[in-house]
Amino acid sequence: MNISSAIFDCSAPDLASCPDESLPEFAFVGRSNVGKSSLLNALVGELGMARVSATPGFTKLINIFTINRCWRLVDLPGYGFAEGARKHRERFNQAVAEYLEHRTNLCLVFALIDSGLPPQQIDLKFVEWLGRHAVPFVLVFTKTDKVAAATVEANVTDFTDSIAGWFERSPVRFTCSAETGQGRHELLGVIDEQMTAINVASRRALVHTENLGPRVRENRKPRPDLNRPW
């Protein structure tokens, strides 16, 4: 996929402040410091589009970028950040949960996991939460340049084994490095596939009804269940 434009849209503190739902969105989520902002930059090929920092908890808002004028990339605040006021952490987590549960134009979530670590409880619980809330996602193991290929493979296998049986079909997995660009092509391919499917569905809908719109998943009613693991 060729990326011809990437425009910063807005930084939203919560779901209510996000822009209209007219374009499909692809969101990056994962533990603080896992490399969400870096991967987003690597995908777009414009360094500095999303801000990167070695300090965990750096991305504090829902940052939205419009790509090629027809879809959006969303950089979400990380979970599991151990520093800072608890009240602030809960507010960030609440905003992320609400976005993931209720954003009707959310097309796919890239759930990022550090490939250099064995399965972490917080990541496993987060993946379980995604499943429980029927959020469509793929797993992306990051920073593969930092450790030996055998370690990456062992960690990916352990993670996959840990979630075996939780889903009807095992989540699709990717590995990547924002540093070397490994996995970039595959991840863009996933977005490309999704956009093609949405365009085909829109064309079909055009034939049957005038009520168009990139409704990529069901409109969800707000739910009281905010039993978040992270």
Ligand X SMILES: Nc1nc2c(ncn2[C@@H]2O[C@H](COP(=O)(O)OP(=O)(O)OP(=O)(O)O)[C@@H](O)[C@H]2O)c(=O)[nH]1
Residues that bind ligand X in the complex, under the rule CB under 6 A: 32-38, 52-54, 56-59, 78, 142-143, 145-146, 177-179
**Choosing among ligand X, Mg ion, none, which partner's interface includes residue 145 (Cβ < 5 to 8 Å by kind)?**
ligand X
Give the span between the Cα atoms of 140 and 111, in whole angstroms: 6
Number of helices followed by number of strands (H, E) in the chain: 5, 7
Which region, judged by CB under 5 A, interacts with Mg ion, from 35-43, 66-74, 109-117, 139-147? Answer: 35-43
Give the shortest CB-182-to-Mg ion separation in angstroms: 20
For ligand X, the closer CB: 42 or 195: 42
Give the span between the Cα atoms of 6 and 45, in whole angstroms: 9
* Interaction pattern, residues 41-60, with Mg ion; x per rule: CB under 5 A: ------------------x-
**Choosing among Mg ion, ligand X, none, which partner's interface includes residue 183 (Cβ < 5 to 8 Å by kind)?**
none
Q: What are the helix (H) ranges across 45-183?
A: 86-102, 121-132, 149-162
For Mg ion, the closer CB: 153 or 179: 179
**Torsion from C-alpha of 75, 9, 18, 61, nearest 10 degrees:** 40
Task: Report the interhelical angle of 121-132 vs 149-162 (nearest 10°).
Answer: 50
**Sites of contact with Mg ion (CB under 5 A):** 36-37, 59
